[in-house]
Amino acid sequence: MKAIRSLELPVKSLRLPGLDELYTEEIEDRLVNIDDQRLFVVAEALRRGFSPEKINKITKYDLWFLDRFQNIVDMEDALDHGRLDGDTLRRAKEMGFSDAWIAALSGREQKEIKALRESFGIRPAFKMVDTCAAEFEAETPYYYSTYDQENEAAGASRADDGAEKRKVLVLGSGPIRIGQGIEFDYCSVHSVWAFKRLGYETIIINNNPETVSTDFDVADKLYFEPLTAEDVQAVVELEKPWGAVVQFGGQTAIKLAQALTDMGVPILGTSADGVDAAEDRERFDEILNQCGIPGPPAARCSPPSRPWPPPTTWAIPCWCAPPTCWAARAWRSPTTTATSPSSCASSTRWSRSTPSWWTSTSWAARWRWTVSSTGRSCSSPASWSTSSGPASTLATPSRSIPPSTSRTGTSRPS
């Protein structure tokens, strides 16, 4: 379950949206496919009553692993029926269930689950990775969380004069993506080295074993954890960092800026509010207007679950992107008006939620189409809206790139 969270897919568990809508025969057919969704299909098959032996015959997955899948499915069923005694909650956490997923299954709030498990004394402990294969005692400051009793990561570093060092937390960039190493991991490592030269104790949270930042000798401490608010908070509560750096971890780290602020951890550099002002398209447009800076017109469209009229008044190509995203993940650029709904639907699948733009009960996001920088003004189709209300009640966007500064043939987000 921790591995699923570390992949940064838009899921909390082994339940992939859409699989529950398939017929049982379709699920059996999908078991044959060897693709990146097969783990989720296996879990769904177990929920449909498939025996581990039948799945083993189709997939050749070892029965030992299928039994572990069955344990997870059984725990989901127990939580779904409201069983939240101390023993059940502890076993769920030992299996890697997040507070958010337990809350979703049991119909409670995430903070209520956190308070409940802490009342039972259920808190994560951190173990040192045994880099010596038990041949002799390991001393590498390389930790992972588990729900055991003994915590091996306790203790603070001391300066030469005996004073306790200030701790700086650096968030890594998560699972590997093209360009990640030179663009983000390189920066994370150099920021750690800079803080170490200044005398700070450095802490990295990351979950990618193929990066330099997860070498055990880069930072003073390395926590190999999913980059989610809950998992990061466990480290924060233990280490109590003086400040945190998020700007070198790309969108993975940036999305946690507000959560860290809510935890009481100062963000070193651009504040969480500054990040939001740059990411939120409405707020950023307001800043451009206040500063008199020209930019391409944009509007927010209906969720992909509703039909749209073709944006015939918009230039093609254009970008379909999540409203709060600096990086290019989940961006789509349709080449014709006919492909616009499918482009946004595809983009929606991998988007990350943000409190100001998503609701907990909806899988559809609010999206914006950004016109290509051709200098043309545009009008919003009737089904499009902005945060102020329906498009029909708003004036046509008037801001556009002057011809002298336009970039013909390219598109960029507002």
Residue 137 vs residue 354, higher pLDDT: 137
Q: Which helix (H) or strand (E) element contains residue 223?
A: strand 221-224
Contacts 24+ apart (CB under 8 A), 104-109: 104/12, 105/76, 105/79, 105/80, 106/79, 106/80, 106/82, 107/82, 108/84
Q: What is the pTM of this model?
A: 0.75
In the chain, what percentage of residues exceed pLDDT 90?
43
Q: Can you tell me the distance from the alpha carbon of 287 to that of 300, in angstroms, rounded to the nearest whole number?
A: 18
- Cβ of 257: how many Cβ atoms within 10 Å? 24
Higher pLDDT, 332 or 26: 26
What is the pLDDT confidence band of residue 175, given thresholds at 50, 70 and 90? Answer: confident
For residues 124 and 130, give the distance between their C-alpha atoms in angstroms, rounded to a whole number. Answer: 18
- pLDDT, residue 197, reads 93
Sheet holding 385-386, edge to edge: 319-321, 367-370, 298-301, 385-386, 389-390
Does residue 191 surpass a pLDDT of 70? Answer: yes
The tens digit of pLDDT for each residue in 258-309 reads 999 999 999 999 899 998 888 877 788 889 889 998 876 666 654 544 434 4
**In 3D, which of 238, 233, 248, 237 has the Cα closest to residue 192?**
248
| Residue 338 neighbours by CB distance under 10 Å | 9
* 146: DSSP letter: E
Give the pLDDT confidence score for residue 250 in this predicted structure. Answer: 82
Quick: pLDDT tens for 48-81: 999 999 999 999 999 999 999 999 999 999 998 8
**Integer CA distances (angstroms), 393 to 92, 306, 308, 386, in order:** 49, 20, 18, 10
Per-residue pLDDT band at 408 (split at 50, 70, 90): very low
Cα–Cα distance between 285 and 381 in angstroms, integer? 19
Q: What is the mean pLDDT of residues 14-39?
A: 94
